[in-house]
Structure 1
Amino acid sequence: MARVVEVDDAADPRLADFRDLARADRRPDRPGGRGLVLAEGTVVVRRLLASPYPPRALLGVARRISDLAGDLRGPHVPADVPAYVTDADTMAHVVGFHLNRGVLASADRAPAPDLPALLATARRVALLEGVNDHENLGALFRNAAALGVDAVLVGPGCADPLYRRSVRVSMGHVLRVPFVACGLAPAVAALRDAGFTLAALTPGGDPAALRAVAGRDRLALLLGAEGPGLSEEALDLADVRVRIPMAGDVDSLNVATAAAVAFHATGGGS
C-alpha cells in the first residue's frame, strides 16, 4: 500500500510534482516539460491507479485520500508511493488555486504501444489530425472508451492527450484507451497494412456512406479539427468520404460529438 504522509508546509520539496499548476511555464505536464501525467479528482485518480501509468505521488485532503484507501492497495501501486495529506489551504498554496476535487496524483508516462502490434487486434480505430483543443480531445477519448473504439492514432497538429485538462475531461479514460502519436503517412500505411478501410468525416462526404462502412471488419475513422477539418492530404488518403446526415442548415458538429455519433453508427458500444 502507498505510504500516507502528513505535510503542513507548502514549500515542502517533496510536493514538486504538484507545484504552480496555474503557471503555464512551470507545469509538469506541459509539452517539453517534465512529461508527467496529472490526474485530478477521486474518479480520475482511481483510474490512473488502475492504469499502466506508473504512479509517483498523491496529494490531497484527508477525506479524499481516505476515499482512495482501497485503490492505494491495488496491484499497480508500489508500496513506496507517497500519499501526501494536507489541508485545503496548504494544497491551494502548492497548486496555485483552490482544487475543488480535493486530490491529485502524478504518474510517469507509460511506453507508447507498438503501432503494428496495436492494430493487429483492433477493429475500430480513430485517426486524428489537428485536434488541438484539450477539452475536445479529452471528450473524444471518453467517447472512444464508451463506444468500443480500440485505439486512437494521434496525428499531426493534435494536442497532447496527457495534458491535465484532457485527462480531466476524459474522466481518466485517456489512460485506458491505447493511443500512439504518429505522422499521417506512417499511420495510413500501418492501417492499410493491417487491412483497415479509411473513412474520412467531412461536411462534403456522402451521407449514405457512414452506414455502408459500418459493416467493414476493420474501420479507421479520420477526424479533423473544428473549422478547417481534415487537410486535403488526409482526405486524399481516405478510401471514402462520409458525413453525418443533419437537419436544417447545420453542416457540422463539435468534433467530439461527431466522433461519438460516428463511433456509435459504425458499431461501437454494446
Structure 2
Amino acid sequence: MRYVTHMVEISEVDDPRVDDFRDLSRADRRPDRPGGRGLVIAEGVVVVERLLASPYPVRALFGVRRRIEALAGATAALDVPAYVASADVMAQVVGFHLNRGVLAVADRAPVIPPAELIERSRRLVVLEGIGDHENLGALFRNAAALGVDGVLLGAGCSDPLYRRSVRVSMGHVLRVPFAHLESWPEDLKLLRDNGFRLAALTPRADAKSLRDAALDEGRVAVLLGSEGPGLTEEAITAADLAVRIPMAGGVDSLNVATAGAIAFNAMSGA
C-alpha cells in the first residue's frame, strides 16, 4: 500500500508543523476577517478525497493513522506532508474532538469571473443574503446533485469555503463553480444579456406556480433569498418572473436549501 510522500508522526501538541490545523474553532476565518488565513479546510475521508480531486492546492493532511491510511489511493501521487497523531493530540491541536479523524488544508484557487461562469452555463442559481453556512453548504450539495452548472453569490452571502459550508456540502462546494456578483442587483443584467430568464423564488401568493413556470426551458437562473425575509423587493423586481412552490395550508415557507432543491429539480425537467 502506498501513502503520501511525507508521513510525519506528531506527538507534541505545540509542534509548529501543524499550525495550519490549530484552534480551528477560532482560527477558521476568511482572509478579510481579523486573524483570518482563508484556508480551505476539509473534514473526513470523503470530503478530503473531494478536496484532493479539486483545483484547490493542498498544503497538508492531519489525522489519526487509520484515516490517513484510508486515503492511500487518493494521496499516492501527492507531494505534501501527512501528519499522523493520536486522537487526543489531534483534538488538542484542532480545539475539539473530530469524529471524522482526518483533516486537509488547501490554499484558495483563483476566483472565476462571473461573466465566464455565465457564458458557459445553462442552469444557474443566484443567492442573495444567504448568511447561514449550513444552508449555504446544503444549497451547493443540492446544486451538485441536481445538475446546476454554477452558483452566483449576490449581496450578503457568507463564504462558501468556510469549514462548516464545506462539511455540510460533503465537499461539493469544491467542485460546483461559483462567482461573486459585486454590484447588486445591477449585475443580474449580465444574465439577461446572455439569454437567461431570471426566476425569483418567493412564497407570495401572486407569484406563478412552479408547476407552470417552465424552468426546464432555455437558459434559466433561479434567485433564492435569505433564510428570514427572503429575496429583497429589488431582486424580485429585477427578475423576469416571481415563482412560488405550492404548499399545504398553514405552512408559509420552506427552508431555503429545501426550496432550492425543489426548484433545481424543476430546472432539470426530471
Q: Shorter-chain TM-score: what band?
A: over 0.9
Aligned match of 1:176: 175
CA-to-partner distance for each residue in 1:181-203, whole Å, 9 max, x for gaps? 22323530211121100000001
Taking the aligned partners of 1:174 and 1:30, their CA distance within structure 2 comes to 18
Structure 2: distance between partners of 1:2 and 1:186: 49
Q: State how 1:179-198 maps to structure 2 within 5 Å.
A: 179-183=178-182, 184-198=184-198
User: CA shift at 1:208, angstroms?
Assistant: 2.6
TM-score, normalisation: structure 1: 0.93
Look up the match of 2:154: 155
Contact 2:210-2:246 within 8 A present in 1 as well: no
* Matched residue, 2:129: 130
Structure-1 separation of matches of 2:30 and 2:166: 11
The question of whether the paired residues in 2 share the 8 Å contact of 1:141 and 1:170 is answered with yes
**Percent of aligned pairs sharing the same letter:** 62
Q: Which runs of 5+ in 1 are unaligned?
A: none
Given residue 195 of structure 2, which amino acid in structure 1 is its aligned partner?
G
Partner residue, 1:236: 237
8 Å contact 1:37–1:109 — kept in the other structure? yes
Secondary structure, in 3 states, of the residue corresponding to 2:72? coil
The structural deviation recorded for 1:210 is 4.9
* Displacement of 1:86: 0.7
Residue 139 of structure 1 aligns with an amino acid whose one-letter code is: A
Does the CA contact (< 8 Å) of 2:29 and 2:162 recur in 1?
Answer: no
- Checking the alignment, whether the CA contact within 8 Å between 2:28 and 2:163 is kept in structure 1 is no
Match of 2:213 in 1: 212
Q: Deviations over 1:102-155 (max 9, x none)?
A: 000000011111222211121110000000000000000000000000000011
Aligned residue type for 1:130: G
Tell me the SS of whatever aligns to 1:97. coil
Q: State the alpha-carbon separation in 1 of the partners of residues 217 and 108 from structure 2.
A: 34
Q: Which runs of 4+ in 1 moved over 3 A?
A: 28-31
CA distance in 1: counterparts of 2:128 and 2:177, whole angstroms? 17
Query: What does the per-residue CA deviation read over 1:221-252, in whole Å, with 9 as the maximum and x for residues that have no partner?
Result: 00001221001110110000000001122121
Map of 1:248 onto structure 2? 249
Residue in 2 that maps onto 1:222: 223
Alignment partner, residue 96 of structure 1 = 95
Gaps of 5+ in 2: none
CA distance in 2, matches of 1:232, 1:87: 53
